[in-house]
Chain A
Amino acid sequence: MNHVEYILDFAANLGCRMLTVGANLERVNDTMFRICHSYQLSSISIFSLSTIIIISAKSQDGQSGTRQISVPHEDKHLEKLNRFNQLSRKVCAKTPPPETLSRLLEEAEKVSDYSLPAIISGYLIAMTSLGVLNGGTIGDIISADLNTLILLWLTDFLDKRNINRIVANTLCTWIAGTLAILYVKLGIGEHFFIIVIVNSMLMIPGTALVNAFRNILCGNEMNGILELLKVILETMAIVFGLIVSIYMFGGLISW
């Protein structure tokens, strides 16, 4: 591989990793541009959506290259984002040899994660707080927390099997809605809608929604519209699952 290819590989892979862990599109484009620029590449052209990155550039000796990379879906990991950001600054400032760039990216990936119990505790703290903020009783909060544990396991189970997110959301809320009806019937929870609204907050792509609007306002209309459509479809799927559970078992409780 020539130098341009090493640099483009690095820029595209770093951009891809940044997008998957939660960076916004404007920042990713800026980072890729700066990296190419710091290695004195010219004719830099970047096209990116939240699902794909295409980047091409030309070196001073006339060699050119293009990279196209698809962006997988992953959960947010803001510490990795922080590490990638530091790496991009370091690379732009010191321009290390292009052959070493992929190793630097691998090193930046090595971040110690929270343990599973810590992550579950994080979810429970967040859900309990949202339960209180939405006016839930202790019974509602316990019900929402129980549902959260089941939803976390179910989401992980479906993700590992590459089940489409819209189908997964429908299934998750159908189960969450059915269980919420059961909790109310058993007298654990009191307010069905508070339990399911709190659980929906786990799945409703709130930050994606904000990012979609931000993209539209920042000039990335295509990505913004795609993201907005995705958010609407995912939300519709969430509600559809819930409505099905109400139609099936709603008669068991009074509203």
Chain B
Amino acid sequence: MVENIKLILFSFTASFGFGIVFHIKKEYLIWAGLGGALTRLSYLLLLEIIDKRFVYTLLAAIIASLYAEIMALELKTPSTVFLYPAIIPLIPGGLLYNTAVNFFLHETALMLENARDCALTLVGMSIGFVLISTFTYYRRVYFFSKDIASHFLHYSHRKNS
């Protein structure tokens, strides 16, 4: 329990720190940190109930992405501003690094294992992001009727229509 709280707390500070590195506005830094903490919390909870790496990464990415979209709606900013810091706890930097190290050390079995885990994590994350960004795109179109037909069919635009 204490270990998990520590992980969540330091995920918050990691995302907060990267928020500064990515030049996020001061007012949004706390929200950037909270995104990282929320992603870590959901990741830890999902890890308890699901043992498939692909599935728990996918669900954690969906939560991170949803958080970024909600914050983007609330604060009228691009979701990327909150998405990048929020996914810091999910990025498989260590796995990628271990894959490359084992490649150079000719540890083929370990390399393949790390590469598989890394690929599963990345595909899970990417599908999670794509699902949410597609969903929010169509939600915008549905609720705010943003001239979707002209967008797809390249019809001439009618202003103020």
Contact = CB atoms under 8 A, between A and B. Distances in A.
A207 B88 CA distance: 8
Contact of A134 (B94, B150, B151): B94
A100 interface: no
Interface residues of B, number: 50
B75 to A, nearest CB: 9
A125 B22 contact: no
Nearest to B146: A34
B20 interface: yes
B35 interface: no
Contacts of A23: 78, 80
Interface in A37-95: 37-38, 40, 42, 44, 60, 76-82, 85-86, 95
Given A77-B22, A204-B97, A218 B104 contact: no
Nearest to A216: B126
A139 to B, nearest CB: 17
B125 A213 contact: yes
Interface string A86-118: 100000000100000000000000010110001
Contacts of A129: 10-11, 13-14, 17
Interface stretch (A153-161, A182-190, A232-240): A232-240
Nearest to B104: A243
Interface in B21-62: 21-25
Contacts of A144: none
A166 interface: no
A78 B14 contact: no
B100 A114 contact: no
A38 to B, nearest CB: 6
A26 B25 CA distance: 24
B78 A210 contact: no
B93 A82 contact: no
A41 B104 CA distance: 53
Contacts of B157: 37-38, 40
Given A76-B84, A81-B81, A122-B17, A207 B91 contact: yes
Given A44-B154, A122-B17, A129-B11, A210 B23 contact: no
Contacts of B80: 22-24, 27, 78, 81
Nearest to A111: B23
Interface in A130-144: 130, 132-134
Contact of B93 (A22, A77, A201): A201
A1 interface: no
Interface in B56-99: 76-78, 80-81, 84, 87-89, 91-94, 96-97
Contacts of B21: 76, 119, 122-123, 126
Given A213-B125, A235-B100, A218 B91 contact: no
Given A37-B157, A38-B157, A207-B84, A78 B22 contact: yes
Contacts of B96: 204, 206, 209, 235
Interface of B: 6-7, 10-11, 13-14, 16-25, 76-78, 80-81, 84, 87-89, 91-94, 96-97, 100-101, 103-105, 122-123, 125-127, 129-130, 133, 150-151, 154, 156-157, 159
Given A27-B78, A204-B93, 7 more contacts: A33-B151, A122-B18, A126-B17, A197-B94, A206-B96, A209-B96, A213-B122
19 contacts: A27-B80, A33-B151, A40-B156, A76-B23, A78-B24, A78-B80, A78-B81, A81-B78, A111-B23, A122-B18, A126-B88, A129-B10, A207-B87, A209-B96, A214-B126, A238-B97, A238-B100, A239-B97, A239-B104
> Which 4 A-B residue pairings sit nearest by Cβ, starting from the closest?
A122-B20, A126-B17, A125-B17, A129-B14
